[in-house]
Amino acid sequence: MGEGAAIENDVMAAGYTEALVACPECDLVHSVPEIEDGEQGHCIRCGSLLYVRHRNSLDRSLAFAITGLFFFILANMFPLLTFELDGQSQSNRLIDGAIAFMDAGYWELGLVVFVASIVAPLMVLIVLISVLLPMRLNIAPTNVKVQIRLLTHLKPWAMSEIFILGIIVAFVKLSDFADVSVGLSLVAFVLMVAAVVMAYMTLDDSAIWRRLKELKA
């Protein structure tokens, strides 16, 4: 990296500079030309995708994040699964999965389930909304660099919700002896996972920095 890298260090740290972008495959550094929304930039050496300018990226990501938060609340309000055996029924909430592992002595596993099913998605949704909602209202959000970095770190956790779903499915299959009914919260949880994934997929980091620059200008 040359002297230029020091100039926009903040933005660099977040993996993006307005002027330069490195190819993820062959590391060739390109200057970023002005492209229109909906267009893609490719590496001139190997043809790998360098960046995409999604149409209305920030608004769409915000819409998915707000939808996700709504489903998150629903997912935590109602039973996830209800078991019925010999006339007795037992309902499980989302948090009961983590509690059950901890009660059984598997506290590390319980902690992982707790983080993956509740803490990580909630943090992702709150960070997305706290960055994107002010921008929508023409206010420059604070601590954007830290929040974007947090989003990047949380991404594998947010995606691991899919494994949590796998555990739930396995749980249902193992419960052949009991009548298992799916609660409203399980549906809400699946929709929340989909909303989180879509919020990440539609989010264009470079659009955040462009919008931030506009707001601070």
| C-alpha dist (Å) from residue 40 to 34, 104, 206, 211 | 11, 51, 13, 19
Name which of 48 and 175 has its Cβ closer to Zn ion: 48
What is the per-residue binding string for Zn ion in 110-139, x denoting contact by CB under 5 A? ------------------------------
8 A C-beta contact, residue 151 and residue 98: no
In angstroms, what is the minimal distance from the CB of 25 to Zn ion? 5
138: left (phi over 0), alpha (psi -120 to 50) or beta: left
23 belongs to the binding site for Zn ion (CB under 5 A): yes
44 binds Zn ion (CB under 5 A): no
Check binding of 42 to Zn ion (CB under 5 A).
no
Within 10 angstroms of residue 74's Cβ, the number of other Cβ atoms is 16
Q: Shortest approach of Zn ion to residue 28 CB, angstroms?
A: 5
**How far apart are CB 17 and Zn ion at their closest, in Å?**
17
**Binding of Zn ion by 48 (CB under 5 A):** yes
Out of 5, 13, 46, 215, name the contact with Zn ion by CB under 5 A: 46
CA–CA distance from 189 to each of 25, 51, 95, 151 (Å)?
A: 35, 31, 12, 20
